[in-house]
Structure 1
Amino acid sequence: MSDVLPQPQQVSSQEDAFFDLGPDTALVAGEGTGRTERWLRATLGAATGLPLAPSAGGGGAIRLALDAGLPDEGYRLVVAPEGVHLTGGDAAGLFWGAQTLRQLLGPNAFRRAPLPDRRWRLPLARIEDAPRFRWRGLMLDVARHFMPKDGVLRYLDLMAAHKLNVLHFHLTDDQGWRVEIKRHPKLTETGSWRARTKYGHRASPLWEDKPHGGYYTQDDIREIVAYAAERHITVVPEIDVPGHSQAAIAAYPELGNTDVIDTTALAVWDTWGVSPNVLAPTDAVLRFYEGVFEELLELFPSEFVHIGGDECPKEQWRSSATAQARIEELALANEDELQAWIIQHFDTWLTERGRRLIGWDEILEGGLAKGAAVASWRGYAGGVAAARAGHDVVMCPEQQVYLDHRQAPGEDEPVPIGFVRTLEDVYRFEPVPAELTPDESGHVIGTQANVWTEVMENQGRVDYQVFPRLAAFAEVAWSALPAPAERDYAAFERRMAAHYRRLDALGVDYRPPAGPLPWQRRPGVLGRPIDGPPPNK
């Protein structure tokens, strides 16, 4: 019982007492429990080989029900000698309870087919649980290195297994445009692939001299969104404006600052960093992206839409007569306010359509758009300022939860990027800054871990960087933990010993506690390590 992850709020159990599942065990679904019923029958049925029929046959039953008296996303799991009662405060809570049920059955319940001669038993127990935050997210960058659709679906399953409920889908950047927009077909015809790719950090002399690319059709997106919804995961799309836009400009040169550079000479960027080529602040560009967002809103039903807003160099705007005329026309003070004007335009546009804008904390510069939420990545400061101004915040500080950062200081650590962020470091991350008042803290709606894929060229590399640290992050996002210094990391490590076996069963190519395996290393590939401890603010 001590192996459940994330850690439940309340657990009581009986030692050496079990309910055994067998061929006659039923799965009985109450009203409103259909999603969890389908998931349990498909997932546990595949792993155990048991039919889990809808009517009892003498082998006890797993009974599913809803009880509005339980908290949102909360659940109660009771395993008794005659069977299991799993009750959710809502459909999502019931599903999260099913994740706990799966863990109690042991690591073989995470396989896709039954192993021979296995006994399926649940310890007698009572668990009551609910999440700390309503936004428990993973940001997945598929722009730098494309992840095929099946890989995205796999990550949705991995998120569900850890009770994470928001996939922040980073779909566009300088290095690639990954979503089909039917009114602007060149975004994928041209913008979805690059001729070659820098291998390692941008200072690396190594190149992968072959085309890289890919994109999701609109039907692919519909499938991803529907698959996520079955698992009570919301997919929040990100289309980056006005910076990180070279792939779009390569496809449609008129989107760039044509009075400063020859935008027809631009290609999709093949290296890393921050491209100087940004969108022009013209009405035509606004109309173009309104068309993009119109198609996105039909594909993504999420409350929030992410518009990026980060790392927008202003040099081209300073040299552009068109941009300077726009600053004068709007009586703006500078280029920062020009960027804020663009963000405010899309904030108003999305609000009129019943959606909410979220952007990286640079959207604070030049004035925060009314109604916008902030993803605070440059430390805590942006989130603190936004919360104090009454705006909702998702905490994802680079110094704490950027999973592309290296996991250890050793020379064998593959493509070392950024600060050392160990499993324990992530476990001691606290999303709510201590300096916020209780009212201000209420604006911290959640937290997410960010996975930037410049040095993650395939699924194995993504797995290595994400796991096991995502398990620690999931506990921080879900569980009501004490202050970071008081957290029992030794107890978490003991639970991780069991969790590694689940990850093994799922085929996750995680970083072992003792360090990278030989095939996980990348000798000679230059990274960008930063010496010293990361700043906290």
Structure 2
Amino acid sequence: MSRPAAGREAAASRPAGHPRSGLEEGRYRGLSLDVARRAFTIDGTVRLLDRMAELGLTALHLHLTETRRVGVRLPGFEELAAPDAWTAADCARLVAAADEAGIALIPEIDLPSHAAALLSGREYLQLRDRRGRVHADRLDVSHPESLELAAALLRAAAQLFPGDAVHLGGDEYFAAPWETEEEQRADRFPSLLAHGRSLVGTAGTAADSFAHFMNALAEVARDLGRTPLMWNDHVVPASQHPGIPISTDIVLDVWIRWRAWTPSVLDYLASGYRVMNSHGDLLYFVLSADGAPAAHGRRRFGLLEDLFRPRRFMGLAAQNEHLDVPPVPEGHADPVLGASLSVWCDAPEVLGEKELLALLDTWLVPFAASFGTTARAAAPAALEGGGQARLRPPAS
């Protein structure tokens, strides 16, 4: 698919002077924040924006929706929001603070998986497997109404958060490599298989139904004047000859490589994709049932500052194997657009907000330093909750 010269709604969605994420310039330095599973205060998030600006980061990716909770009152879908979700006024305050800090905001509506909260009242759109079991957290992308719903949700998020990019989600829809033979079956979801065959012919697969949906949603993003991003989980590279390829206009947010036979970042680059590095081993700050992450990005293999480089992607999950993508020759466009550190709140009760942000700062400092920026190691007053001073981003 070709990218239109200008999105039809770009003027309304991206006002003049709004901060850019750095994607198109190849200098994305981001933080992804899970405001779906956990309710972050606007005050705390504004302080985080200030700290990001001080560290030279460029974008805050807001993961707005999850299986159990919708973290924002989306226009037209207010009934889906959690009781403590951000209001339109909260979002307006956050947008103003991001503008002042020089940080781009990138909203994510995570579909077609992690969707149970979004499908409340629309249970007929939930996916069924071949045994008739309903998967309440998965949207049936073969249903004619599914794209209509997803597009409306994406437009609602874009209305709240002006900017130059949106994240489409697209993760964990199909079985992971370690799941059972039944879960791995090509005909596990008959509606997707039938839809894929209607699009491609007898060789069509459920993956083609998924790709068709994500491509159509990306067109909606481009009509909004936004660069679309999606997680890499189910993107089939050109070398595997998919019936319907995921459009190379979509930036792949590369976080995982489960097995040696699953695609690597090198496969995506060879297929013509632009990529962002969200290394799921090195750049995942996770509150889990096991507790809080260690300070300073410490993992069993070492410290973040020793292990991570912006062009170092996952080789194999949990194996301390990495793929270093070499720099491109001078004068050539760089398909590696940057990197992002992710905060996931699988067990949101593990830390209070103040403690979480203070611990997160010990990760942000070495992450920012990996790009060659200079930053203070100690958490500033702005993160600890008392400071009122607004911090300006460094001159580029």
Q: 1 CA distance for matches of 2:30 and 2:228?
A: 16
Distance 1:478 1:455, change over 3 A: farther
Q: How many residue pairs get matched?
A: 324
Report matched runs for 1:136-535 at 5 Å.
136-188=29-81, 192=82, 214-257=84-127, 260-261=132-133, 277-313=138-174, 318-331=187-200, 333-365=204-236, 366=242, 367-378=245-256, 382-404=264-286, 414-415=291-292, 420=299, 424-433=303-312, 434-436=324-326, 438-439=328-329, 442-457=334-349, 458-479=352-373, 499-500=377-378, 503=379, 505-506=381-382, 508=384
Is the alpha carbon distance of 1:374 and 1:92 closer, same or farther for their aligned partners in structure 2, counting shifts above 3 Å?
closer
Q: Deviations over 1:367-395 (max 9, x none)?
A: 33230001110159643333333322211
1:427/1:473 contact within 8 Å kept: no
**Structure number with higher relative contact order (C-alpha < 8 Å, ≥ 6 residues apart):** 2
Measured after TM superposition, the shift of residue 249 of structure 1 is 1.9
Cα distance change, pair 279–215 in 1 and its aligned pair in 2 (3 A): farther
Deviation at 1:228, TM superposition (A): 0.2
Corresponding residue SS for 2:56: coil
Report if aligned partners of 1:136, 1:478 keep a CA contact under 8 Å in 2.
no
How is 1:115-154 mapped onto 2 (pairs within 5 angstroms)? 134-154=27-47
Q: Deviations over 1:335-378 (max 9, x none)?
A: 12221111111122222332221011125235332300011101
In structure 2, distance between residues paired with 1:335 and 1:91 = 39
Deviation of the 1:239 alpha carbon: 0.5
What is the SS of the residue equivalent to 1:181?
A: coil
Aligned residue number for residue 316 of structure 2? none
CA distance in 2, matches of 1:251, 1:462: 34
Q: Give unmatched runs, 5+ long, in structure 1.
A: 1-89, 94-131, 193-212, 267-274, 407-412, 480-491, 510-537
Taking only aligned residues, the RMSD between alpha carbons, in angstroms, comes to: 3.4
Comparing 469-478 and 308-317, the one that deviates more: 308-317
Change beyond 3 A, Cα 1:507–1:258 = closer
Q: Secondary structure at the match of 1:178?
A: coil
- Whether the 8 Å contact between 1:308 and 1:359 is mirrored in structure 2 is yes
What residue identity is the alignment partner of 1:351?
R
Partner deviation per Cα, 1:139-197 (whole Å, 9 max, x = no partner): 00011112122222121122112121100100011121122223233322xxx2xxxxx
Cα distance, 1:238 vs structure 2: 0.6
Deviations 1:255-311 (A, max 9, x none): 313684468xx6xxxxxxxx5x44442120111111112222222222211011111
Question: Counterpart of 1:371 in 2: which secondary structure?
Answer: coil
> Can you list the C-alpha shifts for 1:4-28, whole angstroms capped at 9, x where unaligned?
xxxxxxxxxxxxxxxxxxxxxxxxx
SS in 1 for 2:106: strand
Counterpart CA distance in 2 for 1:255 and 1:324 is 16
The match for 1:73 is none
Tell whether the 8 Å contact from 2:39 to 2:85 is kept in structure 1 after alignment: yes
Structure 1 residue matching 2:80: 3-state secondary structure: helix
What TM-score results when the alignment is normalised by the length of structure 2? 0.71
Query: Equivalent residue of 2:356, what SS?
Result: helix
Task: Please tell me the residue identity of whatever aligns with 1:438.
Answer: V
Distance in 2 separating the partners of 1:223 and 1:186: 22
CA–CA separation in structure 2 for the residues paired with 1:154 and 1:473: 18
CA contact (8 A) 1:243 1:278 kept: yes
Superimposed CA distance per residue, residues 110-143 of structure 1 (whole angstroms, 9 cap, x where no aligned partner): xxxxxxxxxxxxxxxxxxxxxx962110000011
CA distance in 1, matches of 2:94, 2:293: 31
Kindly tell me: are residues 302 and 421 of structure 1, through their superposed partners in 2, closer, same or farther at Cα, counting changes over 3 Å?
farther
Give the conservation status (yes or no) of the 8 Å contact 2:304–2:363: no
Maintained 8 Å contact 2:28/2:338:
yes
Which residue identity is paired with 1:255? L
Q: Secondary structure at the match of 2:29?
A: strand
Report if aligned partners of 2:170, 2:231 keep a CA contact under 8 Å in 1: yes
1:360 maps to a residue whose letter is W
Change in CA separation of 1:255 and 1:178 when aligned onto 2, cut-off 3 Å: farther
Where do residues 36-115 of structure 1 align in structure 2 (5 Å cutoff)? Answer: none
Q: CA deviation at 1:223?
A: 1.9
On the 8 A contact 1:238/1:305 being kept in 2, the answer is yes
Whole-Å separation in 1 of the counterparts to 2:52 and 2:63: 16
Cα distance in 1 for partners of 2:109, 2:48 equals: 20
Distance between the aligned counterparts of 1:421 and 1:140, measured in 2?
23
Q: Note the alpha carbon deviations across 1:304-329, whole angstroms, 9 max, x for none.
A: 11011111136599455533332221
> Normalising by the residue count of structure 1, what TM-score does the alignment of the two structures yield?
0.54
Three-state SS of the structure 2 residue aligned to 1:161 is: helix
Counterpart of 2:197, as a letter, is E
Q: Tell me, in whole angstroms, the C-alpha distance in 2 between the residues paired with 1:261 and 1:185.
A: 29
